[in-house]
């Protein structure tokens, strides 16, 4: 029969074993809150688990990521935030749901222009905000963003909502390069060149080019890859085949790019594993897996884009730090409303 002392010791030992098991489970996982579709990041997750033995759990959200983590507070299970667009990364930082990370491995691999100076987010891949152009009706092989306001394009330009984050990023870059006064005049010229009110998504613009509704449009590079490989909707392949990509400002400052990125969550319960995942995501191997899945450009020097992305032609990214561009997003949004861009052409 156990003495009270023996029983107490046995209970303590059991508790210790249970705590160790729980710690082992915690040490073996990392929790990702993601704005990216699960199927786009699964190959990355599988490779990370294969190499490290760390299980990655993904919670996909199409909106409200910052609000959710805020509501969860210090008990939030989020370790890593994975998202697209500099606006959403800045939103996460400003929302107080990230924490700074100084990691020599990541900083060595990811160029400074794609990193938050305080270490609260890191870019992983880039996508160019380019011009889709009709192969049949547009002989030009080069263009600048500035030229989009030229009257020669009157009635020939299509675009999605001017307030969409993709367009706001581009307009913010114009402010960063030229100032608000110039950009207001430029946006007015853009408005006058529209074939219709801004509408649809980036794929819709390629469809409008094929149908003859417009000759040029603003769109992201990766949508062309998605359309080219969409076996579920062969019509999208036709839209892509009718367009060519022009990389604006290739001869001078370079094409505006936006990013997908990663951040360390503020209360990361599995911080060590989160850092391991972030270091993995910055590696050449992971960059190529990710970039191939999403038809984007790796940011790590030496990592190659997919063959499909290479077929778009070479891209020369604008070297302006994304933080400088992000600082102008509010002004860009205000200018879109001021000039009535979403109202479409005046006549």
- DSSP letters along 82-141, please? EEESHHHHHHHHHTT-B-----HHHHHHS-GGGB-TTSS-EEEEEEEEEEEEETTT---S
Query: What is the Cα–Cα distance from 162 to 264, expressed in whole angstroms?
Result: 31
Same domain, 96 and 194: no
61 and 161 share one domain: no
- Give the residue ranges of the annotated binding site: 222-223
pTM value is: 0.86
What is the Cα–Cα distance from 106 to 95, expressed in whole angstroms? Answer: 23
pLDDT in tens, 107-128: 999 999 999 999 999 999 999 9
The CATH number of the domain where 40 resides is what?
3.40.190.10
Query: Within a domain: residue 307?
Result: no
In a domain, 308, yes or no: no
Quick one: 80 exposed, middle or buried, by C-beta within 10 A (0-12, 13-18, 19+)?
buried
Overall number of domains in the chain: 2
Q: Which band of pLDDT confidence, cut at 50, 70 and 90, is reported for residue 38?
A: confident
Between CA 266 and CA 160 the distance in angstroms is 34
Residue 104 sits in the same domain as residue 142:
no
User: Is 285 found in the same domain as 249?
Assistant: no
Residues in binding site for Fe cation: 222-223
> Are residues 322 and 182 part of one domain?
yes
Contact yes or no for 95/73 (Cβ under 8 A)? no
Closest CA to 135 of 218, 193, 209: 209
Is residue 77 situated within a structural domain? yes
User: Cα(276)–Cα(257) distance, rounded to whole angstroms?
Assistant: 27
pLDDT tens column, 295-312: 999 999 999 999 999 999
Q: What is the pLDDT of residue 5?
A: 38
> What is the Cβ-side half-sphere exposure of residue 40, based on CA atoms within 13 angstroms?
17
Average pLDDT, the chain: 91
Residue-range definition of the domain harbouring residue 11: 4-125+259-302
Q: Does residue 309 lie within any of the structural domains?
A: no
**Beta carbons of 101 and 278 less than 8 angstroms apart:** yes
Establish if 191 belongs to a structural domain.
Answer: yes
Is the torsion defined by CA of 263, 267, 268, 271 positive or negative? positive
Three-state DSSP class for residue 217: strand
Q: How big, in percent rounded to 5, are the helix, strand and coil portions of the chain? A: 50, 15, 35
The residue among 69, 145, 81 whose CA lies nearest residue 116 is 81
Query: Does 13 lie in the same domain as 58?
Result: yes
Same-domain check for residues 35 and 97:
yes
Q: What is the DSSP string of 289-344?
A: HHHHHHT-EE-STTPPPPHHHHTT----B--S-HHHHHTTHHHHHHHHHHHTGGG-
Does 249 lie in the same domain as 187? yes
Q: What is the pLDDT of residue 43?
A: 93
For Cα atoms 127, 255, 338, give the angle at the middle one, nearest 5 degrees: 95
Is the pLDDT confidence value at 101 over 90? yes
No. of helices (H) and no. of strands (E), the chain: 15, 9
Q: At what angle do helices 329-339 and 180-193 cross, to 10 degrees?
A: 50
Within 8 A by CB and 6+ apart from 315, the residues are: 128, 221, 247, 250, 255, 257, 297
Distance CA 42, CA 263 (A): 18
Asked whether residue 187 is domain-assigned, the answer is yes
Q: Say yes or no: 196 and 330 in one domain.
A: yes
Q: Are 121 and 148 members of one domain?
A: no
pLDDT digits (tens, 9 = 90+) for 310-339: 999 999 999 999 999 999 999 999 999 999
Residue of 16 and 95 predicted with greater confidence: 95
Name the residue among 126, 127, 124 with its Cα closest to residue 282.
Answer: 124
Instruction: Point out which residues pair with 290 in neighbouring strands.
Output: none
Q: Give the relative orientation of helices 86-94 and 165-178 as an angle to the nearest 10 degrees.
A: 90
Q: Is residue 71 part of a domain?
A: yes
Q: What is the pLDDT of residues 39-74, one digit of tens each?
A: 889 999 999 999 999 999 999 998 999 999 999 999
Q: What is the pLDDT of residue 347?
A: 64
Burial 110-148 (b: 16+ CB within 10 A, else e): beebbbbeebbbbbbbbbbbbbbbbeeebeeeebbbbbb
């Amino acid at each position: 029969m156990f003495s009270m002392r023996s029983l107490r010791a046995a209970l303590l030992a059991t508790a210790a074993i249970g705590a160790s098991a729980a710690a082992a489970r915690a040490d073996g996982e990392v929790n990702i809150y993601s704005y990216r579709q699960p199927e786009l990041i699964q190959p990355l997750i599988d490779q990370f688990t294969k190499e490290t033995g760390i299980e990655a759990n993904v919670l996909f959200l199409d909106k409200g990521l910052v609000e959710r983590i805020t509501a969860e507070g210090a008990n939030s299970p989020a370790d890593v935030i994975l998202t697209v667009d500099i606006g959403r990364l800045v939103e996460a930082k400003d929302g107080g749901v990230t924490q700074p990370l100084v990691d020599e491995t990541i900083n060595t691999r990811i160029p400074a222009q794609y990193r938050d100076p305080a270490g609260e987010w890191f870019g992983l891949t880039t996508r160019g905000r380019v011009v889709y152009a009709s192969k049949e009706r547009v002989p030009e092989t080069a263009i600048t963003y500035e030229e989009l306001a030229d009257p020669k394009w009157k009635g020939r330009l299509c675009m999605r909502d001017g307030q969409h984050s993709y367009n706001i990023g581009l307009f913010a870059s114009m402010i960063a390069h030229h100032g608000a006064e110039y950009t207001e005049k430029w946006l007015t010229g853009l408005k006058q060149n529209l074939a219709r009110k801004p509408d649809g998504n980036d794929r819709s613009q390629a469809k409008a080019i094929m149908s003859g509704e417009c000759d040029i449009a603003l769109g992201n590079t990766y949508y062309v890859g998605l359309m080219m490989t969409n076996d579920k909707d062969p019509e999208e392949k036709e839209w892509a085949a009718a367009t060519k990509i022009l990389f604006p400002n290739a001869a001078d400052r370079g094409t505006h790019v936006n990013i997908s990125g990663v951040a360390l969550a503020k209360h990361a319960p599995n911080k060590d594993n989160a850092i391991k995942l972030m270091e993995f995501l910055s590696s050449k191997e992971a960059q190529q897996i990710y970039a191939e899945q999403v038809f984007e450009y790796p940011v790590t020097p030496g990592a190659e884009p997919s063959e499909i992305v290479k077929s778009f032609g070479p891209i020369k990214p604008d070297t302006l730090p994304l933080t400088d561009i992000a600082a102008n997003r509010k002004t860009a949004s205000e200018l879109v409303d001021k000039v009535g861009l979403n109202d479409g052409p005046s006549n």
